[in-house]
Amino acid sequence: MMNAIVMTGPGEYGLQKVPVPRPRKGEVLVKIRAVAICGSDPKVFDGSYMGIGWPPHFPFIPGHEFAGKVVELGEGVTKFSVGDRVAGEAHCGCGECINCMEGRYNLCLNYGKPETGHRHYGFTYQGAYAEYNTYNVKALTKIPDNVTYEEASLADTAGTALQAIKLTGIAPCGYTLVIGPGPIGIFAMQIAKAIGSRTIMVGRRERLELAGRLGADYLINYEQCKDVVSRVREIAGGLGVHQAFECAGSDSAMQQCVLAARKNGKVALVALPATDLHMLPVKTMVMNQIHVIGSRANPSCTRDVLEMMSAGAINARDMITHTFPLQDFETAMQTFVRRIDGAMKVVVCPNND
């Protein structure tokens, strides 16, 4: 038996004893050492996403930003050995549909069908808020020796930022705008800066200050700036930015990203808003040939961001503001949701390591 945070209904969850899962063919059993709370987790727990099947049933164990140690191998596993330190990602495609075959397993055509081998850990399939969980080897990446479990649990977050950057590209010596200095936004800024871009971060309060400490070249506090778009364009030489990343999930942020982009610029919508219909400045998009791209998850990004952490190109350590044992999960969640003491990334350690 093991300890796990188990949902029994919308808004109903707590610490329970449940059986340790056994790895099937192509899977390994992972002793979970660190799980970072994601911005989507509170909505999973309160039932806000039940309309899209997150979770699909009760009881259910959420959690998807994790790192841990391989402790048991399933049948046919040769990619990993017992004792390997691994970081995981939430998406694991069926491996057979056309999207998976082309590397877009985040858009698996068999989404939500576990009988095909598809897994969306922590959303449609049991997740990581537990002492142990089983994972398909396709969802795991070895952690470099100089990267801690806590840092590696942020690979999913950093990978989501990298995926958006892969879709837009980074103009050499150009300008990058990021609106929303949350974890994904700050990682997007760090990665863009590591590639060679000048970076502009829009936000407020402690999170904007953290973005500055982690390397943003220009900071704009939208509570103090009357015209964010004009200020961004001024910084970018009057032409606008080469690429912009919307990481706030608000109509105003989406509009500002489009209006601040230079002609033929690219805008990535990274945040997942609560509703589907939003106002965008379409005339500007057409006249300036602005490319607006939706970005989902982090396919084939985990290894790259772990190597960036290892090389010091991006800083995950200073993104972690709080850690808690699994037994204090409710305190951890409230610290994250209410941003107590400037909380950014809150990490839960299921095995009290």
Sort strands 2-9 and 12-18 into parallel, antiparallel or unpaired: antiparallel
pLDDT at 339: 96
pLDDT single digits (tens) 278-331: 999 999 999 999 999 999 999 999 999 999 999 999 999 999 999 999 999 999
The overall pTM is greater than 0.95: yes
Average pLDDT over residues 273-277: 85
pLDDT single digits (tens) 75-102: 999 999 999 999 999 999 999 999 999 9
Helix or strand run (H / E) with residue 68: strand 65-73
pLDDT at 285: 98
Place of tokens 């015209």: 227
Tell me the C-alpha to C-alpha distance, in Å, between residue 80 and each of 83, 121, 298. Answer: 9, 19, 21
Give the Cα separation of 297 and 164 in Å (integer).
Answer: 9
Q: What is the mean pLDDT of the chain?
A: 97
| CB distance 151 to 134 below 8 Å | no
pLDDT single digits (tens) 332-344: 999 999 999 999 9
Backbone region of residue 287 per phi and psi (left: phi > 0; alpha: psi in -120 to 50; beta: other values): alpha
Which residues make beta-bridge pairs with 69?
Answer: 31, 85
- Going by pLDDT thresholds of 50, 70 and 90, the confidence category of residue 352 is confident
| Domains of the chain and any CATH numbers | 2-154+316-349 (3.90.180.10), 158-294 (3.40.50.720)
Tell me the C-alpha to C-alpha distance, in Å, between residue 226 and each of 208, 211, 229. Answer: 17, 21, 9
pLDDT at 353: 65
pLDDT single digits (tens) 90-137: 999 999 999 999 999 999 999 999 999 999 999 999 999 999 999 999
On the question of pLDDT at 277 being above 90, the answer is no
pLDDT at 297: 97
pLDDT single digits (tens) 184-218: 999 999 999 999 999 999 999 999 999 999 999 99
pLDDT single digits (tens) 235-255: 999 999 999 999 999 999 999
pLDDT at 335: 98
- Going by pLDDT thresholds of 50, 70 and 90, the confidence category of residue 47 is very high
Give the Cα separation of 132 and 45 in Å (integer).
Answer: 20
